[in-house]
Copies of this chain bind each other. A is one copy, B any other.
Amino acid sequence: MNAAALQVGRRLPRLEADQKLSGRARYTADLDLHGMLHGAILGSPHAHARIVRYNISKALAAPGVVAVVTGADCPDGKMGPFIKDEHAIAKGKVRFVGEPVAAVAAATPAQARHGCALIEIDYQELPAVLDPAQALEEGAPLIHDGLAGYEKIYDAGSSGNKCCRTVIEQGDLAAAWRKCDVVLDQEYRTQPQAHLSMEPCAALADIDPAGRVTLWSANQSVFRVQANVCECLQLPMSRLRCLTPHVGGGFGNKMEAHVQPIVVMLAIKSGRPVKLVLSREEDFEIVRGGHPFRFRVKTGAKKDGTLVAREVDVLIDGGAYADDSPGVLAFALRMSCGPYRFMAAKAQGAVAYTNKLRFGAFRGFGQPQIHFGCEQQIDQIAVALGIDPLEFRRCNALRPGETWFGGQSVASNGLKECIDKVEIESGWRRRSALVASPGKKRGMGMGTTAHISALLGTGAIVRMLEDGTIVLNTGATDIGQGSDTVLAQMCAQTLAIDVAKVAVASPDTDGSPYNWGTTASRVTYTTGRSVVAATGEVLRQAKDHASEMLECGVADLELRPGGKIGVKGASGLEVTFQAISRRAHWRSGGPLVGSHTWVYSQDTVDPKRATAIGNPARSGVFSFGALVVDVEIEEATGKVEVLRAWSAVDVGRAINPQAVEGQIEGAFVQGMGFALTEEMVWDGARLSNPTMMDYKAPTSADTPYEINSYIVEAPEPDGPYGAKGAGEIGMNAVAAAIANAVSAATGVRLNSLPLTPERVLRALMEHGE
């Protein structure tokens, strides 16, 4: 095989890199249509209030204003991935400050905003509930009066302000606790983190006179957009076509609906195309954030260093709408034992509605939060038992063949190799020799993690055109992580051609096979499986043609690099894909087409099983990771600085090592922001820092001078070329590892995030007393 055949494992820049670097890639905000109007949103000034009356006459009379929509225009349809609790726009009630309560379409964005300012709404204020614990108390003001009647994908005991509740249990817990020689039991809190995609949420809707709507938007799933918009607007799904231009990041924020339903309402009302691009402030205030957790972790171990029992109890603030909260809760609980062996464990928790912005999917899907407590306790127990924390983890790590918490089998497991890798590369055993800068303390900390990468359905259609080139259509959105490139590499590898011969079609609900979405670290594994299978089907058809053309049996044929099929042992006897495709054009009536659909599990979400993702399919696809960080803490200020990081991730097989390293590095920095500086701060009911100035995300000046990424390859037997997911795992253990390093450096344990200088300094001072 020559170089052209080695597409999997190639370090390749993204297929679309040129477009993005030249500034010519078109995002939703770059699209324009004839007669297009611009939309703007009016947000609620109240955290909780009934809407008594709208007066839109002044707004309608304002220059350039063409249409105004409010809850009075929107049908009673409701959307939501787990609980259908959310209208297209506030209807009857507002439930958080900033919640869209009206919207305007006008000739210019400024006129639309001016129109919003002229809308008068009478509210009847209601007492707001801003704390999740208070929300669950008897007599708390009800945020969703009609919760019992809402449609739910599964019933997880919603009532009052309790959005859902989940319990997972395994083993004889009472017996397990009795065996423990050391037990830790602590409480932790993590803060809400903003997704902060480079591209703010945006949508453009166009309606034809027959009533069919075309909707371009920034999203992570063109199919979820279609489902959400149609559910809340009670629009037949066949009347909505959803498309995805380039997308500038998602991190979970664009998985479910944002402004799309409102933009469609404006287009229907005005009869004109309408585009709406959120300002950065609005993108902070009205879309969604990562969940704040309050949780208790209890861990027990034997003197010999064997982990025995764990209990976790979590309370999650879900904000005003359920969104992905039930999923985040279930997943966090399911991952709460980490990649370790326990004799028994129990994880339980609840999500509470509050009068705040909804919280939803965020890279890690609950793991960065739960790990912050769980992985600190692992460290603390190791220290308590006088065992090296790394060695302690290695000894308790799930071994290949062992099952996950809940009983799920684990097909491939490179955890030990990850631990070994970071141990060696970081110089872990020599860490006591590290010298701190003057006025600083220095320490190394670590964490391990795992992440699943297979959920729900995905398809692929591969077409070999008459000239032998390939178009790959999957419906998967490349949100910037590089999935188009990776999927094209798999397709090219299967056909032994250069990846340049493969074009990737953009997602389109009319023309793409179904894809649940770019979420849950799933595209490489799940869509990759479909791509490899669909490409294999094209190859099978090509071989059938070749066998007739070369007059030999299919078994005598071999695939040759550069797009040829030849007779084994006869180097001159071969036909090109082009010749095959031209023949197929007349014989088969068009291009060679292969299609494949792959579904993770029929019972991933079973309405009869209350715990949903908490009780997954029998087998899982797990990526593993281990991380070491080297940090310094300035004694005078409490400022934590990460000097170096070593992150090893078992991705099964790195289809594009460059893209995997990008994921590891990006996840580390986002995790570092979570650990140290980022926090969405509510001042009462109002988000007080919805700007890039006030919200402290790490800049390049804040990133460590060394982020060392290591790819470990424990091939997944059913994975496409052995691959597993890589999108989230690099983020999970960052905050925990940094907290462990801070403790190693200072002896101080912090149970709340972020580890701001104020918080660290206070702890240092308390510790010093």
- Tell me the A residues contacting B by CB distance below 8 Å: 15-16, 18-19, 22, 24-26, 30, 32-34, 208-210, 212, 223, 226-227, 230, 236-239, 241, 456-459, 465-467, 469-471, 473, 501-503, 505-506, 508-516, 585-591, 593, 595, 597-600, 602, 604-605
CB pair B599 A588 closer than 8 Å: yes
**How distant is A751 from chain B, measured CB to nearest CB, in Å?**
39
Report the Cα distance A24→B589, complex, angstroms. Answer: 35
Other-chain residue from B19, B25, B239, B513 in contact with A590 (beta carbon distance below 8 A):
B513
- Of the residues B18, B241, B473, B515, contact of A510 by C-beta under 8 Å: B473
Are B595 and A237 in touch, CB under 8 angstroms?
Answer: no
- Cβ contact within 8 Å between B469 and A501: no
A509 partner residues in chain B, CB cutoff 8 A? 471
Whether A503 touches B212, Cβ cut-off 8 Å, given contacts A508-B508, A508-B511, A510-B471, is yes
Given A209-B22, A505-B511, A508-B510: A457 in contact with B590 (beta carbons within 8 A): yes
For the complex, give the distance between the alpha carbons of A470 and B604 in Å.
26
The 10 A-B pairs of least Cβ separation, nearest first, read A457-B589, A511-B511, A514-B590, A589-B599, A238-B469, A505-B510, A237-B465, A238-B503, A236-B469, A19-B209
Contact check, B467 vs A236: say whether CB atoms are below 8 A apart. yes
Could you tell me the dominant secondary structure of chain A's interface residues? Answer: loop
Given the interface pairs A501-B236, A586-B605, A590-B457, the reply to whether A230 lies near B34 with Cβ below 8 Å is no
Supplied contacts A237-B465, A473-B510, A589-B597, 6 more A-B pairs, CB within 8 Å: A18-B210, A25-B208, A230-B467, A237-B471, A457-B589, A595-B595
> Residues of B contacting A505 with CB < 8 Å?
241, 510-511
A442 to chain B, nearest CB (A): 46
Closest to A23 in B: B209
List chain B residues, Cβ under 8 A from A512: 511
Contacts of A591 in B (CB 8 A): 514
- Give the residue name and chain of the B residue nearest to A597 (CB): B589
Max chain B C-beta neighbours (<10 A), residue from A18, A26, A466, A470: A466
- Residues of B within 8 Å of A458, CB to CB, are 589-590
Q: Which residue of B lies closest to A584 (CB)?
A: B457
CA distance A226 to B587 in the complex (A): 19
Of the candidates A15, A19, A515, the one having the most CB atoms from chain B within 10 angstroms of its own CB is A19
Contact of A238 among B32, B241, B457, B501 (CB under 8 A): B501
- Give complex CA distance A516, B590 in Å: 8
Closest Cβ neighbor of A509 among chain B residues: B471
Given the interface contacts A16-B210, A19-B210, A209-B24, does A239 sit within 8 Å of B469 by beta carbon? yes
B514 near A210 with CB under 8 A, answer no
A212 CB to closest chain B CB (Å) equals 6
Q: Are the C-beta atoms of A467 and B237 separated by less than 8 Å?
A: yes
CB contact between A604 and one of B18, B459, B508, B586 (< 8 Å): that residue: B586
Q: Contacts A238-B469, A590-B457 known; A34 to B32 CB distance under 8 Å? A: yes
Q: Least Cβ distance of A333 to chain B in Å? A: 21
Contact of A457 among B457, B510, B588, B604 (CB under 8 A): B588
Which residues of chain B have C-beta atoms less than 8 A from A239's C-beta? 469, 503
